[in-house]
Amino acid sequence: MIEKKKATPISKLGEFGLIEHLTKDIKPKNKETIEGIGDDAAILDYGDNLQVVTTDLLVEGIHFNLMYVPLKHLGYKSIMVNLSDVFAMNARPLQVTVSLAISNKFSIEAIEELYRGMREACDKFNVDLVGGDTTSSLTGLVISVTALGKVKKGEVSRRSGSKVNDLIVVTGDLGGAYMGLQLLERENEVFKVDHNMKPQLEGYDYILKRQLRPEARGDIIEFFKEQNIIPTSMIDISDGLSSELLHICKESKTGCNLYEDKVPLDSQTKKFAEELNINPLVTALNGGEDYELLFTINMNDYEKLKNNPDFTFIGNITEKEKGANLVTTLDGRSIPLTAQGWNPLK
Ligand code: ADP
Ligand code: MG
C-alpha cells in the first residue's frame, strides 16, 4: 500500500507565502553572502564592490501569451525585468545568462526573433550576455534570465532602509502596463470569436508599449550617481504599488501614508480604465509590471528631485505602529493599504 501523503494546495499560501515557507530556514553559510533571499537581488561581498544577482522565470501561458506578444518584444522584456531588479538595488547591471526550454512548435527563425529582442535590451544598458542553458519542453516556451550587477559598498539601496519622515517617491507613471494587458486580452477575445476582426488598438500606443516593451529605469540610477543621492530604500514595481510599498514597510519595520491624489497616472491609462469601468487608481495600486522604481529619500534630498518631471512625491514614511495607509482625496480618510498584487499562483 502506498501511504497517503498530505497534499496542501499551493494556492493556500500564494506566491510570497510559498517563498517564505520554502526559504524560512535557509541561512547564508558564507561571509560573502550579505543578503540572500528577500530583496530584489541577492548581495554578495567581493571587496570594494558588492555584486548583486537576480533571476526571473517566464512561462508561456502563465506570464505571456504568444497570440499577441511578438517574440522580439518578449525577449526584450525578459531581459528588462531582470535589469530592473538590479537597478532597484541602486546597482549597474553587467552580465546576464539566458536559459530556454523550447518545444518543437518553434522554428529557428522564431527563436532568432526572441534573441534579437534580448540583444537589444542588453545593448541598451551595455550588458554582456555570457551564457545560459538550452533544453526542450513538451508544451511551450520557458525563459529564465539571471542578471549580475555591481554597486559600491555603501551605495546599495535595500528594501529595509527606509526611516520615519523619509519621502516616498515613484518614477514615471503607473497602471499603464496593466491596462495595456487588458486591451490586448480584450482584442484577443474578439479575434478568437471572429478571425476576420482587426484589433482596435488605435489611440492606445502608450499603454501597449508599457505592457509589451517596458523600459527598466537605468537612467534614474545614473541620475542618482550624478546628484549624489542614495535612496534609503528602493524596490522596482513588478507587482503593483501597494504590494511594493508594503514590502518596503515590512522590511524597514515602518509605516507609511500614501496619498491617493498623488499617484501618477497617464491619460491613456485613465481613459481605458474608464472605458472598462475600472477605477484607474486600482490599476496603479494592484496592476503591476510597470517596472518603475519606488524609493524613499531623506528630506534633505528633496530639493534635488523636486523639479524633475521623472519623479512624483506620493507620500511619507511613518512609525510602524501607524500602519501602512492610503489617504483618500475626497475626505482625507486613511484606509489600510492592502496588497492584492499580481499573483500567478492564485
Ligand atoms: P521580484 O518581484 O523582485 O522578482 P520575488 O517576489 O520574485 O521578487 O522574490 C522575492 C525574493 O524571494 C527574492 O529574494 C528571490 O530571490 C526569492 N525567491 C523567489 N523564489 C524563490 C525560490 N523558489 N527559492 C528561493 N528563493 C526565491
Ligand atoms: Mg523586484
User: What are the chain's domains?
Assistant: 10-152 (3.30.1330.10), 159-336 (3.90.650.10)
Nearest CA to 156 out of 250, 230, 82, 251 is that of 230
DSSP string covering 41-52, please? SEEEEETTEEEE
Give the position, in ligand 1's atom list, of the atom nearest the Cα of 40: 3
CA distance 142 to 58: 6
Q: Is the pLDDT of residue 115 over 80?
A: yes
Quickly tell me which residue has 525585468 as its cell: 81
| Nearest Cα residue to 291 out of 243, 240, 252 | 240
Ligand 1 cavity residues, CB under 6 Å: 19, 22-23, 37-40, 56, 85, 238-239
Average pLDDT over residues 39-46: 95
DSSP 98: E
Predicted confidence at residue 342, as pLDDT, reads: 47
Q: Is the pLDDT of residue 212 over 50?
A: yes
- Higher pLDDT: 195 or 228? It is 228
- Find the ligand nearest to 38 CA: 1
Ligand nearest to the CA of 85: 2
pTM: predicted TM-score of the whole model, two decimal places = 0.94
Q: For 104-170, where are the alpha helices, taking DSSP H only?
A: 108-124
Give the least confident one: 9-13, 59-63, 183-187: 9-13
Are the C-beta atoms of residues 129 and 147 closer than 8 Å to each other? no
Beta-carbon contacts of 324 under 8 Å, excluding residues fewer than 6 positions away, are: 245, 246, 249, 255, 256, 258, 336, 337
Per-residue pLDDT, averaged over 79-93, amounts to: 98
